[in-house]
Structure 1
């Protein structure tokens, strides 16, 4: 059963990524990266989740069509979630923990009610986009919830969040110090401000 699921998952992944590479020139590299993340998640979901958490502040946007940007983190979350499901099926002999617990039910109900609200939405296209955003980030809860069974794991996740945010903060400080501010004019850039004193 697991081998059939694994082969089906690989086939669907290759099919989707192959179709994307025919339309967009930079997708072969992204396909390799996404497939590597999927394989890492199959081998060690915990390490893949930590990698995803440290990548959160960097989120590269994929321009899949004119006017449509897709955050790469959404694709990575879905890949990691599908690999996590396959990992659980292999480890627990084909059984996944019940999804009918109270907090799972509340999350699924929220997603369902958001989808039902499309019936009276003024702009259906934007409503569908927002539902797609919810649906792509939604599995992150299950990944983090399964990885935070012990206090040490929670500390590790928080330290990875802080590390990623710290790196992005340092990059932002360097950029704001070296590149003049474009929104308020050159006079308000940090270098001009410190030079006047």
Structure 2
């Protein structure tokens, strides 16, 4: 039974390790490639005369959204998901979560201060083949945790089994020609007693047999 458990622990540990190593290499590759593939190209369409709040004390959220509607990424307009007012920084931040981009506007002039691309959020949501299929990405991420637990459990079991069994075998093991026999001269065959039967063995054969005491 112990041998069977060790065998399946070894097999499970091996295949879980191979699978998790492949998934880890995939994620590392995606961390390097996805930001480069999805990196946006920002453009700004000309503002119409009605969209202007320059000179006013505080630019309104309507004006900010109007300015954001003129932003383009890879030639397509952005869709605002959240608008955040930061009074200490004196700015509005408008985000398009679907494209992982945000634009920061000056609260006084309405001019764009910064256009950023959230590559970390992109990798977090798109890795694990989620860029290919959301369902495939969810299944891959779901399988990682139980397989990682399996890898840890089987690793501990293999380490415990290795430390427990071989030590005893080494402690009592010896070649047959080094054990006390009925006859063990320097030359000629050995005479051993096994289950009330005398057995004669050549020295060359006896030197290749390993015996161990039980217990």
TM over 0.5: no
Question: TM-score w.r.t. structure 2 length?
Answer: 0.25
Larger strand percent = 2
Question: TM-score w.r.t. structure 1 length?
Answer: 0.27
Larger RCO of the pair (alpha carbons < 8 Å, separation 6+): 1
- Structure showing greater Rg: 2
